[in-house]
């Protein structure tokens, strides 16, 4: 089951990142503060019908979107970060009876790849860790590592 969840998570992240690269009809704006959420909190929308996985965020209208657009969200590169236009993202999560979904719209003035497949984390990337078993250890059970080269996973 854990491998299936990790595979699903990897698929969702791949979809979400590809979605952020392509032009979309609906571009999300952060609205999490409207729900009184604290930093680090979100609300997962339940889809009645699974969203189309087509590189378009139209099915995500009505979702809660969280902005990562300040220096505190950066794991690395704070010393060279030039603000929201340099690198920022808005993200959301959702689910249906069968799947968990993660979507993001990324703004990045210069996309930088990691040096090779073993070091994708040294380039522009998104890390998504989910504590499925609620261990609260701070260490993930599975680490999906994705690299996008020429807009392909």
> What are the pLDDT digits (tens) for 38-95?
877 889 999 999 999 887 888 998 899 988 888 888 777 788 888 888 888 889 999 9
Determine the Cα–Cα distance for residues 78 and 96; give it in Å rounded to an integer.
36
Nearest of 116, 91, 109, 112 to residue 17 by alpha carbon: 91
Q: What are phi and psi of 98, to 5 degrees?
A: -120, -20
| pLDDT for the residue 48 | 92
> Does residue 147 form part of some domain?
no
What digits encode the pLDDT tens for the residues 122-152? 777 777 777 777 777 765 555 554 444 555 4
97 domain residue, yes or no: yes
- Asked whether 146 and 125 are in contact (CB, 8 A), the reply is yes
Q: What is the maximum span of the chain, computed from C-alpha positions, in angstroms?
A: 43
Does residue 146 belong to any structural domain of this protein? no
Within-domain flag for 10: yes
Query: Do 15 and 105 form a contact (C-beta atoms < 8 A)?
Result: no
Residue 126, domain member (yes or no): no
Task: Give Cβ neighbours of residue 77 (< 8 Å, ≥ 6 apart).
Answer: 87
Q: Which of 128, 104, 2, 107 is nearest to 55 (CA)?
A: 104
**Nearest of 74, 104, 82, 100 to residue 92 by alpha carbon:** 104
Domain that holds residue 85: 2-111
- 49 within some domain: yes
pTM of the model as a whole: 0.67
HSE-up (13 A, CA, CB side) for residue 68: 20
Number of domains the chain is built from: 1
In-domain check, residue 42: yes
Residue 119 within a domain: no
Q: What is the dihedral of CA 30, 34, 39, 40, to 10 degrees?
A: -70
């Amino acid at each position: 089951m854990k491998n299936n969840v990790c595979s699903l998570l990897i698929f969702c992240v791949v979809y979400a990142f590809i979605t952020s690269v392509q032009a979309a009809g609906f571009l999300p704006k952060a609205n999490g503060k409207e729900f009184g959420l604290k930093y680090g909190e979100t609300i997962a929308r339940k889809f009645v019908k699974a969203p189309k996985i087509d590189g378009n965020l139209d099915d995500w209208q009505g979702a809660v979107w969280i902005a990562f657009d300040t220096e505190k969200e950066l794991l690395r590169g704070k010393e060279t970060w030039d603000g929201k236009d340099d690198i920022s993202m808005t993200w959301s999560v959702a689910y249906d009876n069968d799947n968990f979904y993660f979507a993001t719209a990324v703004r990045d003035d210069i996309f930088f790849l990691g040096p090779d497949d073993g070091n994708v984390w040294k380039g522009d990337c998104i890390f998504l860790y989910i504590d499925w078993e609620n261990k609260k250890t701070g260490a993930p059970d599975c680490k999906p590592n994705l690299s996008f080269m020429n807009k392909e996973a």
